Amino acid sequence: MAKRAIISVSDKTGVVEFAQGLASLGWEIVSTGGTYKALKAAGVPVVYVEEVTGFPEILGGRVKTLHPKIHGGILARRTPEQLAELEAHGIVPVDLVAVNLYPFRATIERPGVTLEEAVEQIDIGGPTLIRAAAKNHAHVLVVVNPARYEEVLTRLKEDQVTDDFRLALAREAFAHTAFYDAVIAQYLGTLSPGEKFPQELVLAFERVDLLRYGENPHQQAAFYRDIMVQGSCVANAEKLQGKALSYNNILDLNSALELVREFEETTVVIIKHNNPCGVAQGATVAEAYRRAYEADPVSAFGGIVAANRPVDEEAAKAMLEIFLEVIAAPDFTPEALKLFQSKPNLRLLRTGPLTAQSSDWCDLRKVNGGLLFQEADREVLDRAALKVVTKRQPTPEEMEELIFAFKVVKHVKSNAIVVSKNRQVLGVGAGQMNRVGAARISLEQAGERARGAVLASDAFFPFPDTVELAARAGITAIIQPGGSVRDEESIKVADEHNIAMVFTGMRHFRH
């Protein structure tokens, strides 16, 4: 008896050649709908599924293959008892299932798509065929990826269909249907005002790239994209030139983009080891970059740069003066791109406009044996909620500087302190185990430039020692969340030194 294959695909890439190859090996091919028409038109011998089931397609094609003569042939183990049962019911065993699914993802990505249109593209028969074949993979080859067609044909011709190969195809099949269902679940979740943190969490990510290694050379790594996220972000950026991005590049790029998009004014950010070492504003991207670089020239070397305006020729010339790993911006002028060609390994990423946040709302972090899932820290500083707690009010210029510094410190690893003046970060104290230690680092980095500058803290001061240190350095205004039981002690010290202090009421821990 000839072996039987069922082929029903949405993506018809290579399917005619695959079917021709099977037919040349003596296989009988059963097909449905558009696949049947494509194979018939190409001259491939093919049997319409209705001829097998003895039952027509119904409900506008919603029910085609859901029939015992199809699924009995797929699910039967090749034991004498089950083969006899098939024969008694006139069912032919199925030895190969090649199926891929309705384009649900492409449908929901269309602007203005309705729920009814999306639901109509939820495949039912396809996943059922795939899962049945994958379950019985010891006897049935299941192929969901057109890239596998050639290998499957070669192995069939050479009689090299091993148990390991069958298992690999089954794993791909279950991953294919799981991903498909995850996309549906996530999409429906975006339409429902229900719980943000469901009892059972399913996520749909697709691999963008295999990375050379992870955080360190001995760690393997890959980069995955959340397929539901739309808008400008590191995962959706377009690489224009340069070497492949590394694991650490991607982490730093994300930090750079999330910080630079905080600002409406022309701003440039330089990131090193996931912390900003330079942030500044200017009349042009070139000016903003030079000011960001001057904040910490040592750390800027080999850094990741992000701008919230297109990079032009003047900015490109400035950026080419030192070694940089990556430059990301909404766009690059043709003149800038031509200059950057002199450093072909330099990675350039075009993000599109950074004026609005992407649709990504959550923050995930893996821990050993579990996953932490929270809302991303996207709260915007509410000027109306700012509270001056000292005798001296900050001047309007000091208030603008304080807001600038607080936006930056939000993106620094805790405990975090930022010193800034004239919309230029002068010192960053990051990731310290105590707040006064972070303050000491930032003020020492700022040096004499700290006189007349402002200081921002990501969390409250547990003791007044940070204010005392700031006063000695010449800081004139401080912004912090407030909320310590010892707030009055810090306020008292600020008043003694004529420092204006503003409470935001919002903490920005970053671990």
Please list the active-site residues: 135, 273
Read out DSSP for 386-401?
Answer: -EE-SSSPPPHHHHHH
- Give strand pairing partners of 141: 96
Edge-to-edge strand list for the sheet holding 275-281: 238-241, 347-350, 326-329, 304-307, 267-272, 275-281, 424-429, 417-421, 454-457, 477-480, 500-503, 387-388
Q: Which of 265, 255, 283, 306 is nearest to 411 (CA)?
A: 255
What span, in angstroms and rounded, lies between the C-alpha atoms of 187 and 307?
Answer: 32
The tokens for 209 are 């790239």
- Residue 169 burial (CB count, 10 A): 24
Do 385 and 499 contact (CB within 8 A), yes or no? no
Enumerate residues 6+ apart whose C-beta is below 8 A from 171. Answer: none
Enumerate residues 6+ apart whose C-beta is below 8 A from 503. Answer: 386, 387, 389, 479, 480, 481, 482, 483, 487
DSSP label at 240? E
Q: What does residue 37 show for φ and ψ, rounded to 5 degrees? A: -65, -40
